[in-house]
Amino acid sequence: MIQLHDKFFKPYLSEAQILNAVEKMALAIAEDYKDEVPLFVGVLNGSFMFVSDFLKAYPHPCEVSFVKLSSYQGLTSTGIVETLLDVSEDIAGKSVIILEDIIDTGRTLQQLVHLFSDTNVKEFKIASLFYKSEIYNGEYAIDYFGMDIPNNFIVGYGLDYNELGRNLREVYTLNQTNMINLVLFGKPGAGKGTQAGFLKEKYNLKHISTGDVFRYNIKNQTELGTLAKSFIDKGELVPDEVTINMLKDEVEKNPDAAGFIFDGFPRTTAQAEALDNFLESKDMKVDATIALEAEDDILVQRLLERGKVSGRTDDQDESKIRNRFDEYNEKTAPLKAYYEAQGKFHSVNGIGEIEAITERIKTVIESL
């Protein structure tokens, strides 16, 4: 996948597929206009790559010009088409073929027809590399097209998302259906926080650390934070329902996320079931649980080194560190069985260079 601004896009059409469609269009039009010199009019900005490759494939004499229209902002059409570069005046008596990169609703096409309505051209035809027939509601025939495609937002080969992506030689489509939700496990020192940081940037995921969520709610004295603090002050465990409601708030605050990394929750089978039920209510699910595995002796050394810098007392006492490992093993064992039964538990070697560990996790994610 690639990232443009805040969105992620996945491969859709290869360069070879695109050029094959362009060549077929060029040869079809060449057969119809082999006995005259047509004027090809490209529609900027999107058509510049298409026009360039089309002219390379067109085997007969021709002329070329450009107009510039605009109706898109971001991912959606504004519904208002602006003429930014008008057609030249010297076109009377010529056969004009519009070269559009993409035709969807037909609003831009209406403006194009209007531009040529009083020019006394000999003939006026419309050619589009990409054609979304399922949403086209225009009254004008599309005389030539390269590919009939679904109504998905695409970028590349001249097409953009907020001006990025035009230079891509392939076409990508918005990655909006494949939400990835991960549960990240790992003993203290296993590098969960570091890897979560890489994964959230790579896949546009929201990292939800239960500890961070608790601290935020308690510090800001939210209703849930106040409720959680009342249990903590009494030395009692915060009920699962309170924690789930905090997570629910975090999920609902991030509707544009391509998925979530849950870190520090669940810690018990009951919590895992509660998380599954919550996600199911949102038409979501846990796609994978990833456990970063490392030998205890190696992690002890990591934490002791970390403790010299962080000053954390729980990272400066080996016996306390090993007690935390024992607690992790005790709590994680039933969770491992729970997710293994769903075919969602993945063990990843957490020893080595950070980049190498990230690649191992990416291999798991991209196999989902």
pLDDT tens digits along 60-77: 999 999 988 765 444 344
Model confidence at 176: pLDDT above 80: no
Identified catalytic residue from 68, 202, 229, 267: 267
Q: State yes or no: is 302 an active-site residue.
A: no
Identified catalytic residue from 7, 132, 192, 200: 192
Identified catalytic residue from 125, 306, 344, 360: 306
The pTM (predicted TM-score) of the whole model is 0.53
Q: State yes or no: is 306 an active-site residue.
A: yes
Identified catalytic residue from 202, 229, 322, 324: 324
> Residues with Cβ < 8 Å from 207, sequence gap 6 or more?
196, 197, 199, 200, 260, 261, 263
Least confident of 147-161, 168-182, 275-289, 292-306: 168-182
Q: Cα–Cα distance between 21 and 366 in angstroms, integer?
A: 30
Asked whether the beta carbons of 161 and 74 are under 8 A apart, the reply is: yes
Phi and psi for 12 in degrees, rounded to 5?
A: -130, -55
pLDDT in tens, 285-339: 999 999 999 899 999 998 998 888 877 777 888 888 898 888 888 888 889 999 9
Q: State yes or no: is 322 an active-site residue.
A: no
More confident residue, 222 or 309: 222
Asked whether the beta carbons of 160 and 46 are under 8 A apart, the reply is: yes
Share of the chain above pLDDT 90, in %: 46
pLDDT in tens, 244-274: 999 988 888 887 678 899 998 898 888 999 9
Q: Name the nearest CA neighbour of 19 among 150, 174, 169, 161.
A: 169
Identified catalytic residue from 10, 56, 215, 312: 312
In this structure, what DSSP letter does residue 313 have? Answer: G
* pLDDT reported for residue 338: 93
Q: State yes or no: is 34 an active-site residue.
A: no
Q: State yes or no: is 192 an active-site residue.
A: yes
Greatest alpha-carbon pair distance for the chain in Å reads 91
